[in-house]
Amino acid sequence: MAKVYFIGAGPGDPELITIKGYKRIKESEVIIYAGSLVNPEVMEEKKEEATVYNSASMTLKEVLVVMEKAIEEGKDVARVHTGDPSIYGAIREQMDALEKKGIAYEVIPGVSSFVASAAALKKEFTLPEVSQTVILTRLEGRTPVPAKESLKSLASHRASMAIFLSVQMIDKVVAELMTSYSANTPVAVVQRASWEDQKIVEGTLENIAEKVKEADIKKTAQILVGDFLGDEYALSKLYDEGFTHEYRSAVK
């Protein structure tokens, strides 16, 4: 039976797509991809006869029409999203519509830009005695954010934070964060993480806005904030020779 596959294409590097996602793209007769956010190389080995649609110029209704027609014709559909489709992928509305029509679908996860950014920086979000929580969020823009999830409110936790879709409002981001984080809190901005033209800007809340503007970064960037970007942390208990757990006894 034909099926729709929601596939996370990863952050940009074509080798960061999962094997399963790659196979489904290669085998599908219809491909709907999220425009310039998806590296075209992930579709290089598609079927010659596959029909390809760029969803950047399509409405939800138009996307669903393409999916429904393909399924009626017994064709699998690869709905290719950037990063991981469950994060700002707008897939719920598509899945609910397919559910109502009795169309089978599956979600194949992908590497999100926030973890690709951490990899580019060679940093770990969850450091012992520094931060054990990662907040994924965005600043309110044309799309609203629930009041309880305002950046100012979330900043009060002073956790490791990855901010999506907000670099064009960097001044406001900084102002909201500085209500709780100190001015010397480290910040990194990673544009197009894992792409060949990846750009990294590092600083503190005090100077990051100026540095971002100097680098001319206006979109497609992650803003990472928190002390996990610093140098101080405690060693983990996991590999501590004096710590006993299920698979190892402590060395005395």
Q: Is residue 13 part of a domain?
A: yes
Share of the chain above pLDDT 90, in %: 87
Q: Is residue 42 part of a domain?
A: yes
pLDDT at residue 247 tops 70: no
Predicted confidence (pLDDT) per residue in 137-183, tens digit: 999 988 889 989 999 999 999 999 999 999 999 999 999 999 999 99
Q: Is residue 246 part of a domain?
A: no
Q: Which residue has the tokens 């590092």?
A: 202
CA distance 38 to 208: 28
Pair (102, 131) in one structural domain:
no
Sheet holding 186-191, edge to edge: 134-138, 160-164, 221-225, 186-191, 199-204
Pair (8, 72) in one structural domain:
yes
Pair (132, 181) in one structural domain:
yes
Last residue of some domain: 108, 131, 161? Answer: 108
| 3-class secondary structure, 66 | helix
DSSP codes of every residue in 119-157? HHHT--S-BTTTB--EEEEE--SSS---GGG-HHHHHTT
> And the tokens for 206?
């005090």
CA distance 164 to 173: 11
Higher pLDDT, 95 or 145: 95
Q: Is the dihedral of CA 165, 171, 175, 181 positive or negative?
A: positive
Q: Is residue 48 part of a domain?
A: yes
Domain that holds residue 172: 113-229
Q: Is residue 194 part of a domain?
A: yes
Pair (142, 225) in one structural domain:
yes
Q: Is residue 18 part of a domain?
A: yes
CA distance 84 to 107: 10
Please report the pLDDT score of residue 143 as a whole number: 83
Q: Is residue 60 part of a domain?
A: yes
Pair (135, 100) in one structural domain:
no
Average pLDDT over residues 44-65: 96
Q: What is the pTM of this model?
A: 0.91
Q: Is residue 248 part of a domain?
A: no
